[in-house]
Amino acid sequence: MAALVEGFREQVALIGRDSSLVAIIARPRTAPDSDRPAIVILNTGIIHRVGHHRMYVPLSRALAAAGHTVVRFDFSGIGDSAPAKDRMPPVAACLEQIGDVIDSVGQTYHIRRFVLVGLCSGADHAILYAHNDARVVGLVLMDPTLPPTLRYYFHYVLQRLPHARSWLSVATGSSGLIRMAVTHLRRRLRAEGHSPETLTLQSLQFNPQLAQCYRAVARRGVKMLAVFTCVSPRHTYPHQILDAFPETASGGSLRLEYFPDSDHHFSPPQARSRLSRIVADWVESV
């Protein structure tokens, strides 16, 4: 069923390898240029395809009205999509489903280029997938997982200096900072990587594979829009991504945006409006 609204058309679709993934596909009134990238928006955790505060609904409609095919879909077992029939590990299953969606949309609408959009875990799935598919030419990463840097630890301590409870946790050995530093050091010494079958998002912060993915997309010239809010345990300063992954700065492929007055879920309406404008403007540059 399709609905035509102003400059775009929306329809519900079953997509993916076995047509089990429920999606909303928004397209402009007139068939878009096949060279324009399609936008695929990924779930954040267990939040279904509308996103926090329905943030993905106006975003997808604005992008569709601007001439893009936009897909909001639910991973298996989330929202309206049926649970997976197999027992693949969660990360591997999500990456496979992203590929299935890109295949379906590409074949149906004759689209060759794609931009992945994700917040938090959605951003992590986007970068983990993109490094291995040349059809992905752009990434919008909102509060993605970043490994801690020396400056991260400095800001972490600075933010907690005024709080007596933080000092008590350090004295008793229960500090999250100490646990994080020990884990970081242990993982770096072991330099252990994981295949998609064993990789988990919980361990991604200290996994060398994350740096490999960023390095691969930067080398391929994938455009990236990295958006950071003021409240996230994944980063403590705006330019942490540049210190963690210096390759992303090469060739002007990375655009950084910071939302100092927004929480991780983009709760303020003005933050969501600004985000939509930034993403729409950036997609045109892709």
Q: Which structural domains are found in the chain, ordered by start?
A: 2-147+209-285 (3.40.50.1820)
Backbone angles phi, psi at 115, to 5 degrees: -120, 130
Calpha distance 211→64 (Å, rounded): 32
What is the rounded average pLDDT for all residues in the chain?
Answer: 86
Instruction: Return the closest-CA partner of residue 42 out of 29, 58, 23.
Output: 23
Top-confidence residue, 23 or 164: 23
Calpha distance 191→198 (Å, rounded): 15
| Strands ordered across the beta sheet of 2-5 | 2-5, 8-15, 21-28, 70-73, 38-41, 114-119, 136-142, 223-229, 254-259
Instruction: Return the closest-CA partner of residue 282 out of 66, 69, 91.
Output: 66
pLDDT at 2: 53
Statement: residue 152 has pLDDT above 90? no
Statement: residue 140 has pLDDT above 70? yes
pLDDT at 182: 55
- Split at pLDDT 50, 70, 90, the class of 275 is very high
List the beta bridge partners of residue 259: 229
* pLDDT above 90: percentage of residues in the chain: 64
pLDDT at 191: 45
- Quick: pLDDT tens for 36-78: 999 999 999 999 999 999 999 999 999 999 999 999 999 999 9
- Judge contact between 280 and 66, C-beta under 8 A: yes
pLDDT at 151: 83
CA angle at residue 89 from 206 to 137, to 5 degrees?
65
pLDDT at 96: 96
